[in-house]
Chains A and B, each alone.
Chain A
Amino acid sequence: MMMTDRWRGSLICLGVALVLSVPILAGCASDKGPAEAAIKTAEEAVRATVAEAGKYVPDQTQSLQAALAAIKEKFAKGEYTAALNDAKSLTDKTKEVASAASAKKAELTKTWEGLSAGMPKVLDAIKGRVDILSKSKKLPANLTAEKFASAKSGLDEMTQQWTAATESANSGNLMDATTKGTAVKTRAAEVLTTLGMPVPDALKS
């Protein structure tokens, strides 16, 4: 009699557990379709954003791709609700990255426009002075032969690097163009100082 009651109790517990788990399982399974759709939407958003944004905010675009891979992994494991929520968040995050890339592009464009308008004049001034000093029988005070040799090699390096920067800008790689252009700017300030020439304000910042 005691065993029968226990047996009955166990059956009731099992029944209750089954009844409770059905809606949960049904809920998870019902998220599969929406999750699939959300992942597709997120994937398209990421793909559309990464190509352009990758040029300006590469770290952030890599994060988007990593997040998308993680979502797909969750989906594959059957974690549909989590995949659905993450996919929706990723679509929003993608918009933020696109916006950040747009802002960075505007910033780099402005920087490059300043460099491309100003650096050629600075390099011309340095070249003009180096050409004259190369014809001088004796160097001016405070300019040793070693310092002058360093200025000349600096001019060669800057000329090459500036050409590379311009090529990068022409091919749409503003990040590389501004990095190289800014390096030329820094070096130009050093060479001007070595030659005893004034350093323009734009090279001081």
Chain B
Amino acid sequence: MADNPQQAGGGDAWDATQWHVVQKGDTLSKIAQHYYGDASLYPKIFEANRDVLKDPNLIRIGQKLRIP
């Protein structure tokens, strides 16, 4: 998985939030594997993005996900 834009968002100079922009072939498990080294931790990402995700199996290309 290629590295994603990881800059802080929202114009807050103190914001340390890490973001991942969903790319073709991404799943929450793959994203969890990339950032945490463990695919089984995908629920952490799902929970952190409940405002934009209804189902952990449904993510869209270009979607911006918060990586806690």
Question: Which residues of chain B are near A67, meaning CB under 8 Å?
Answer: none
Task: Report whether B13 and A202 are in contact in the complex, using a CB–CB cutoff of 8 Å.
Answer: yes
Task: Report whether B37 and A126 are in contact in the complex, using a CB–CB cutoff of 8 Å.
Answer: no
Complex alpha-carbon distance, A133 and B41, angstroms: 9
Q: B63 near A: Cβ within 8 Å?
A: no
Question: Which residues of chain A are near B7, meaning CB under 8 Å?
Answer: 198
Near B by CB (< 8 A), chain A positions 179-202 give 192, 196-202
Task: Report whether B13 and A136 are in contact in the complex, using a CB–CB cutoff of 8 Å.
Answer: no
Interface size class of B (residues with CB under 8 A): 20 to 34
Interface of A is mostly: helix
Task: Report whether A200 and B6 are in contact in the complex, using a CB–CB cutoff of 8 Å.
Answer: no
Task: Report whether A197 and B16 are in contact in the complex, using a CB–CB cutoff of 8 Å.
Answer: yes
Given contacts A132-B41, A192-B16, 18 further A-B contacts (CB under 8 A): A121-B12, A125-B16, A125-B17, A132-B68, A133-B36, A136-B36, A136-B38, A136-B41, A140-B33, A196-B35, A197-B6, A197-B16, A198-B8, A198-B18, A200-B8, A200-B14, A201-B13, A202-B14
Binding site for A on B (CB under 8 A): 6-8, 12-18, 33-38, 40-41, 44, 68
